[in-house]
Each structure stands twice: as structure tokens, then as C-alpha cells.
Amino acid sequence: MSLYKELIEISHKVYQKGFVAAYDGNLSARIDDYRILITPSGKCKGELEEKDLLEIDYKGNLLRGEGKVSTEAKIHLVAYNKRKDIGSVIHCHPVYATALASIGEGLMRPVFPEVILSLGKVPLCKYGTPSTDELPNSMLPYIEYAWAMLFENHGAIAFGKNIKGAYFRIEKLEHAAHTIAAARMMGREKSLPMNKVRELYSISEEVYGIKIDKRNRFDY
């Protein structure tokens, strides 16, 4: 499948899942060392077509396409420029993840085994005014290791080696935030004990060969 087609399919999915409303959110994928494919400003993600997508360089200059480059392209660029292992970025406003961000919380406790392995820590980036450098700058303390982050009073961002990988992280993040909200209606979620968290890391390394950056580990 072409990168164009895949980015459109996932954009539609992000809208159908209710992870964005109206014109919100933006998605991108690395094409090569010179170009990034990104959704344009001011268009609904549920209605996008391949011809709407833009190609930009690593400074955010428009190379190809008719639309306007989003002011939020900066948060994509900081990810691609800082991390060679990131091939796709999705920024959106999923309800439960954004609700956590609005009460000043990230997902910084080890609660669910699969979330510990696939997302690791999901830090909360300090509030920054959209379109200014405050927002990309707020990612800098965590960008070297995190695979997902929350933006205080704003939304969420996830990274993947490819588009599907970034999408699944956003989906998992929203599912975890939703489950935590449900748990809090019944009491309060419990963290896993650290010996169980360590056991999980050792199994993931031995069985699946997954090596997690130590800064993204809960026992570090």
C-alpha cells in the first residue's frame, strides 16, 4: 500500500473512532531523508483524500501539495528531527486521554502489563500555546525515549516506526485512559508491584526480544 493511501486510511479511522472533532488533529509519515507526508490544516480527517496530503521538508517548508501547512507541524518535526526510529506521528484529542491531560496527569504508573510494554511511560507535557514554539519545546524533556505523550489541557501524541504503529499506540493510550476513568468510578487503580514489573521486562526481553529504553522503564 502506498504511504499516501495508508495515511488517508488511518486519518479516516482516527476520525471514525472519535479521536478528533471537526478539523482537529494531524497525522504524518516520514517519506525519506528529505520529505515528510502530512495532513493539511483546516480539513476534517474523516473527509481527507490523497490529493489533500502535503509533502514538507524537515524545516516545515511546503514541497508539494495545494493546502496549508498546519501550525502544529512543528510537533511532528521535533519528533522526526530528534528520533531516527520514528517513522510516523499522530496528534489528536481522544476524550479520555485528553481528560487526564486536563486534570494534570500523564500515565506514569505501571498498571496494565501490555501498556507497560507497548507504551511505557506516557508523560504529561507542560501546557503550551498551540502554534507557538511552546508546544514542541514542551516535548523536549521526554522526546528521546517516550512513544506517547499527553499535552496538558490539549490532547495526545503518539509515535511509531510506521503509521500503523503510531495508530495502535494512540488507540492503546485512549483505551488505557478510558479504563482508568472506569476504575476511578469504582475506587482507584492499583499499580503493579515493582517485582512484577521487573518480571515483565525480563520476559519481554527473553521471549520477545523487546529491549525498552531504561528511561521509559518504571523501575528506572
Q: Which is nearer to Zn ion, 45 or 121 (CB)?
A: 45
Output the residue with the shortest Cβ distance to Zn ion.
Answer: 155
Question: CB 188 → Zn ion: shortest distance, Å?
Answer: 29
Strands 36-38 and 62-64: unpaired
Region from 43-51, 95-103, 151-159, 165-173 binding Zn ion, contact rule CB under 5 A: 151-159
Buried/exposed 62-81: b ≥16 CB within 10 Å, e otherwise: beebebebbebbbbbbbbbe
Binding map of Zn ion across residues 87-126, x = CB under 5 A, - = no contact? ----------------------------------------
Helix (H) or strand (E) holding 173: helix 163-186
Any contact of residue 128 with Zn ion (CB under 5 A)?
no
Residue 93 CB, nearest approach to Zn ion (Å):
6
Minimum CB separation of residue 60 from Zn ion in Å reads 16
Judged by beta carbon, residue 87 or residue 128, the one nearer Zn ion is 128
Q: Minimum Å distance from CB 104 to Zn ion?
A: 17
Which is nearer to Zn ion, 70 or 118 (by Cβ)? 70
What CA–CA distances, in Å, run from 159 to 10, 52, 87, 193, 206?
Answer: 14, 22, 8, 28, 25
Across the strands, what pairs with 90?
27, 158
The nearest distance, CB 50 to Zn ion, in angstroms, is 23
Grid coordinates in use for 43? 480539513
Specify the 3-state DSSP secondary structure of 161. coil
Integer-rounded Cα Rg, in Å, for the chain is 17
Q: For Zn ion, which is the closer residue by CB, 22 or 182?
A: 22
Closest CA to 6 of 35, 33, 27: 27
Query: Looking at 106, 128, 155, 160, which residue binds Zn ion (CB under 5 A)?
Result: 155
Q: How far is CA 13 from the centre of its chain?
A: 15
Residue keyed to cell 520477545: 208
Binding mask 34-73 for Zn ion (x = CB under 5 A): ----------------------------------------
To Zn ion, the closest distance from the beta carbon of 26 in angstroms equals 8
The residue type of 142 is Y
Residue whose entry in the numeric block shows the C-alpha cell 519528533: 79
What residue ranges bind Zn ion (CB under 5 A)? 155
